[in-house]
């Protein structure tokens, strides 16, 4: 049995890549036994209970960049975590540690590497997080979701850096027929569908812009709307659902059913969302979260916009008028849509999980 530690969480954007890589490792080598280490306060506290892998949750805390005085207890917490991880290394004898970012990754990977465990990092964003930059010289491999992230790193002499993409659930093969997918939602198959999605809890600026566009009657005529408003906001926007032209949902799962029907997507610029859009070859309007750590969503969106794979609409400019005009302008220009789709597809890495898993397993002894 080959135990592999996985550390990454706090948010789904860091936990889901770890789960995807773990699943891929087990498919490639059934002798692999993933062991997850996460935070008591992160999303992993709920998600890992539903997974088959053993795990342990520790009192890991985020770094507060703006409210610096809240970091007073951080040194003591880090010492406790490092001590426990080193004890786990002795108990579990991992062959590898994989970190996928977030405040749950850095201390765990650092402590395991100090005990001689080979380290692998997977960085989702165009601007690497603090954990990736801090550990870049100490690990054996770094896998980038964006080629642009390489410029921010100073890897060690023995560190290999790969542009492997972000690990996601790839689209089905063959791809679903778009007209049939629209019909399954009850939409007219011959009219365009725009998918608006701001995350599982929603995105108030995006939701408010869409709501105002519908209220004022400026949403482009003939364009159907599939709108994930978010579980925390569905009560405010559900009345816009007319059962025909506009469908409002709290959360869409699986999201593949929505991607299959969409001609255009408008939403946030999280790394995993972008990886899915590229894998599906979907043209998109990216509205990055202004408060995202180190501006990483804006950097993600700019990377795509600069390569002709998306349209960037900054949150401060995302009004009912600008969003409606952008949606209407794109859907009236089939050549522009096709160009965005082709450029997005060129950036796709639908098999990233298997690629990362295979390269990481290559570190391990063959016997």
In this prediction, residue 309 carries a pLDDT of 97
In this prediction, residue 365 carries a pLDDT of 75
* Helix 352-361 vs helix 12-28: crossing angle, to nearest 10: 60
Co-location of 210 and 138 in the same domain: no
Tell me the C-alpha distance between 8 and 158, whole Å: 23
Percent of the chain with pLDDT over 70: 93
Co-location of 135 and 217 in the same domain: no
CA 5 to chain centre: 20
Co-location of 94 and 188 in the same domain: no
CA 27 to chain centre: 22
In this prediction, residue 67 carries a pLDDT of 53
Co-location of 187 and 150 in the same domain: no
Asked whether 249 and 233 are in contact (CB, 8 A), the reply is: no
Co-location of 248 and 161 in the same domain: no
Co-location of 141 and 208 in the same domain: no
In this prediction, residue 164 carries a pLDDT of 96
Domain assignment of residue 366, yes or no? no
Q: What is the mean pLDDT of residues 263-280?
A: 95
Tell me the C-alpha distance between 241 and 227, whole Å: 9
Predicted confidence (pLDDT) per residue in 144-164, tens digit? 999 999 999 999 999 999 999
DSSP per residue, 153-194: ----TT-EEE-------PPPSSPPPHHHHHHHHT--TTS-EE
Least confident of 17-21, 78-82, 122-126: 78-82
- Count, residues in the chain: 367
Tell me the C-alpha distance between 304 and 287, whole Å: 12
Of 265, 200, 195, 279, nearest in space to 20 by CA:
279
**What mean pLDDT is reported for the chain?**
91
Co-location of 231 and 265 in the same domain: yes
Co-location of 161 and 229 in the same domain: no
pTM score:
0.84
Of 250, 222, 240, nearest in space to 324 by CA:
222
Asked whether 120 and 99 are in contact (CB, 8 A), the reply is: yes
Cis upstream peptide for 174 (omega within 30°): yes
Asked whether 120 and 143 are in contact (CB, 8 A), the reply is: yes
Does residue 304 surpass a pLDDT of 70?
A: yes
At residue 201 the predicted structure's pLDDT band, cuts being 50, 70 and 90, is low
Q: Pick the residue with more confidence: 75 or 345?
A: 345
Predicted confidence (pLDDT) per residue in 204-242, tens digit? 999 999 999 999 999 999 999 999 998 888 999 999 999
- What is the SS3 assignment for 249? strand
Does residue 355 surpass a pLDDT of 50?
A: yes
Q: Distances in Å between the alpha carbon of 318 and those of 55, 187, 266, 288, 347?
A: 41, 26, 11, 10, 25
Number of domains in the chain: 2
Residues with Cβ < 8 Å from 30, sequence gap 6 or more? none
Least confident of 143-147, 169-173, 266-270, 289-293: 289-293
Does residue 68 surpass a pLDDT of 60?
A: no
In this prediction, residue 253 carries a pLDDT of 81
Domain assignment of residue 144, yes or no? yes
CA 191 to chain centre: 29
Asked whether 7 and 19 are in contact (CB, 8 A), the reply is: no
Co-location of 207 and 227 in the same domain: yes
Co-location of 164 and 182 in the same domain: no
In this prediction, residue 9 carries a pLDDT of 78
Q: Label each residue of 77-131 as H, E or C.
A: HHHHHHHHHHHHHHHHCCCEEEECCCCCCHHHHHHHHHCCCCEEEEECCCCCCHH
Does residue 64 surpass a pLDDT of 50?
A: no
Q: Distances in Å between the alpha carbon of 203 and those of 27, 149, 193, 224, 339?
A: 36, 26, 20, 20, 27
In this prediction, residue 77 carries a pLDDT of 64
Q: What are phi and psi of 112, to 5 degrees?
A: -70, -40
R_g (Cα) of the chain, nearest Å = 21
DSSP run (H or E) holding 300: helix 296-306
Does residue 112 surpass a pLDDT of 50?
A: yes
Of 81, 56, 7, nearest in space to 73 by CA:
81
- What is the SS3 assignment for 207? helix
Domain assignment of residue 367, yes or no? no
Q: Supply the CATH number for residue 46's domain.
A: 3.40.50.2000
Domain assignment of residue 173, yes or no? no
**Domain containing 281: what range?**
178-346
């Amino acid at each position: 049995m080959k135990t592999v530690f996985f550390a990454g969480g706090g948010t789904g954007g860091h936990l889901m890549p770890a789960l995807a890589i773990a699943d891929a490792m087990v498919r490639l080598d059934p002798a692999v036994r993933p062991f997850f280490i996460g935070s008591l306060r992160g999303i992993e506290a709920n998600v890992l209970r539903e997974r088959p892998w053993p795990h342990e949750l520790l009192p890991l805390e985020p770094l507060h960049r703006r409210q610096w005085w809240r970091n007073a207890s951080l040194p003591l917490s880090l010492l406790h975590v490092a001590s426990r991880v080193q004890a786990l290394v002795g108990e579990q004898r991992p062959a590898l540690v994989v970190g996928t970012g977030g405040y749950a990754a850095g201390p765990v990977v650092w402590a395991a590497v100090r005990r001689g465990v080979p380290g692998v990092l997977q960085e989702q964003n165009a601007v690497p997080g603090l954990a990736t930059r801090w550990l870049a010289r100490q690990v054996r491999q770094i896998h980038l979701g964006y080629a642009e992230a390489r410029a921010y790193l100073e890897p060690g002499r023995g560190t290999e850096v790969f542009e492997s993409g972000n690990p996601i659930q790839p689209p089905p093969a063959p791809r679903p027929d778009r007209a049939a997918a629209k019909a399954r939602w009850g939409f007219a198959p011959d009219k365009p569908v725009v998918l608006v999605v701001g995350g599982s809890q929603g995105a108030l600026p995006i939701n408010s812009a869409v709501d105002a566009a519908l209220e004022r009657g400026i949403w482009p005529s003939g364009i159907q709307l599939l709108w994930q408003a978010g579980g925390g906001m569905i009560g405010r926007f559900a009345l816009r659902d007319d059962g025909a032209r506009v469908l409002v949902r709290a959360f869409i799962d699986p999201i593949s059913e929505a991607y299959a029907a969409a001609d255009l997507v408008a939403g946030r610029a999280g790394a995993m969302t972008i990886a899915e859009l590229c894998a599906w070859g979907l043209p998109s309007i990216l509205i990055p979260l202004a408060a995202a750590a180190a501006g990483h969503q804006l950097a993600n969106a700019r990377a795509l916009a600069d390569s002709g794979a998306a349209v960037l609409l900054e949150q401060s400019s995302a009004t009912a008028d600008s969003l409606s005009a952008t949606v209407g302008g794109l859907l009236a220009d089939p050549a522009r849509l096709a160009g965005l789709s082709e450029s997005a597809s060129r950036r796709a890495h639908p098999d990233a999980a298997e690629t990362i898993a295979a390269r990481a397993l290559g570190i391990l002894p063959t016997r």
